[in-house]
Amino acid sequence: MTEPSPVELELARNRLEGIADEIGGVLVSTAYSPNIKERRDCSAALFDDEARCFAQAAHIPVHLGAMPASVEAAARLEPESGDVVMLNDPFAGGTHLPDVTLVSPVFVGGEQVGYVATRAHHADVGGTAPGSMPADSRSVHDEGLRVPPVRLVEGGETNEDVLDVFLANVRGSDERRADLRAQLSANERGVERLSEYVDQDGTRAFGALIDYAERRTRDEIDALPDGTYDATESMDGDLRVSVEVEIDGDSMTVDFEGTSEQDDGNLNAPRAVAESAVAFVVRCVTSDDVPPNAGSLAPVDVRIPSNSLLDPEPPAAVAGGNVETSQRVVDAVVEAVRGATDVPAQGQGTMNSVTVGNDSFSYYETVGGGAGASADRDGTDGVHVGMTNTLNTPVEALEREYPLRVDEYALRDGSGGRGAHEGGDGIVRAFVVLEDASVSFLTDRREKSPKGAEGGDDGATGVNLVDGEKVGARAVVEVDAGTRVEVRTPGGGGYGASGD
């Protein structure tokens, strides 16, 4: 079989990434919960028959980087045509329990050619707190229903027993059912489109795209100076992420020896999450026209000590590892490679996860903040940085769907670090809870500021408030109707001395 020409390869790349985009579009347009249809907390990707990603949409980095491990886990069930495998197990390629992954095999002419996968953050999957993101969890069992790979659909027919077990363990079962149906529709569209593509053009582009991404990434790494670079970043508290990055020709080794041991709380990040953070940084320091697929991480050897913060043993709690520790892994690897290439000052370095709910509703949001300044521009105000890429929940949708009233939503003026280029400002997001509820803050950068670079000032730390009183970075608070909840997110670091 002849290899595709450069023109054919580029056409294939755009068509296949277009299929992934279309899958995501179907999911967003048919979902019921605001978390998916408004915030777009979901992702889609395509895989070959060896579970290697060859195309993905520009969705959520922490989803996409970890998804290959979930597809590998689903593939071990040897699903047949018409099957759909469901899982959310953080120890089988999942991220945290609310992120439910559906994997569909693709068969053409009786031969398997690949997989379609979607991942979506569901508003609740059970556990001790509404929203399944309890800041005080000590075991994965506190965080909801853990689903290992299981056939949700078999031979085109939904396994109602599996669905009933799932829905019996979650809050808002009607909404969960609707969002799962949206995912199934998205997967069905992906199977249809990828089958059409293979019918017309075969599968020769799948491996060629992966090989091309590897060649391009190796060229990019080879252009960096050889050497060993290290950094340590700390969470609020005493947990740390330590990393040593070795660049040797066209390959890179990323070693997390020295990282804190497995945590008693929920800041443990499953191995797939840590690997996705490394993949994100590699993409950031290489050309943005390198296809984001399995080949772009092939030159990178990721080493993670067992039973550590980044490779915990079950039943470790992991809710915060996905949203917070992943951000600190990015910061640590970026700080290490700062010795080899020019990178921006640190951004807010937290997802600012806030969950509010009771037995009748569950609201979840990650709140944007300041991006770090770089050598040639100011940081952007009020955006998601690092491992998340979601939108906000529009005020109109939030107030329509939940018993909440938005009291303030504005940029946090002056929170970005000063410098020759100033860091982006954070956000003030405040709302009044209209029913008795539980509020869970799963945040970071409340004690340690995002760092400036090259003489730039640090960004401001974040603040969590309940009726004007500060609460910790990770806290669960039971509130009465009428309580005002406010999140002030961190600003980004400045770059270069300001000259004042």
Per-residue model confidence as pLDDT tens digits over 67-83:
999 999 999 999 999 99
The pLDDT of 467-496, averaged and rounded, is: 97
Residue 453 lies in a domain: yes
Q: Note the pTM of the prediction, 2 decimals.
A: 0.96
Residue 238 lies in a domain: no
Residue 228 lies in a domain: no
SS3 helix, strand, coil % of the chain, rounded to 5? 30, 25, 45
Mean pLDDT of the chain: 96
User: What pLDDT does 117 receive?
Assistant: 98
User: What pLDDT does 468 receive?
Assistant: 97
Last residue of a domain, one of 157, 184, 212: 212
Q: What is the pLDDT of residues 261-285, one digit of tens each?
A: 999 999 999 999 999 999 999 999 9
Residue 182 lies in a domain: yes
Q: What is the pLDDT of residues 415-437, one digit of tens each?
A: 999 999 999 999 999 999 999 99
Quick check: 389 pLDDT over 90? no
Q: What is the pLDDT of residues 159-196, one digit of tens each?
A: 999 999 999 999 999 999 999 999 999 999 999 999 99
User: What pLDDT does 370 receive?
Assistant: 98
Residue 103 lies in a domain: yes
Residue 65 lies in a domain: yes
DSSP 158: E
State the pLDDT confidence band at 201, using cuts at 50, 70 and 90: confident
The pLDDT of 310-326, averaged and rounded, is: 96
Quick check: 1 pLDDT over 70? no
Domain span at 474 = 344-500
User: What pLDDT does 58 receive?
Assistant: 85
User: What pLDDT does 362 receive?
Assistant: 94
Give the chain's domain count. 2
Last residue of a domain, one of 172, 190, 212: 212
Question: What is residue 17's three-state secondary structure?
Answer: helix
User: What pLDDT does 3 receive?
Assistant: 81
96 within 8 A of 142, measured Cβ to Cβ? no
Residue 47 lies in a domain: yes
State the pLDDT confidence band at 93, using cuts at 50, 70 and 90: confident
Rounded CA separation 37/25 (Å): 10
Nearest to 312, CA basis, from 344, 362, 267, 253? 267
Q: Are residues 206 and 348 in the same domain?
A: no
Last residue of a domain, one of 197, 212, 227: 212
State the pLDDT confidence band at 500, using cuts at 50, 70 and 90: low
The pLDDT of 225-236, averaged and rounded, is: 98
Residue 88 lies in a domain: yes
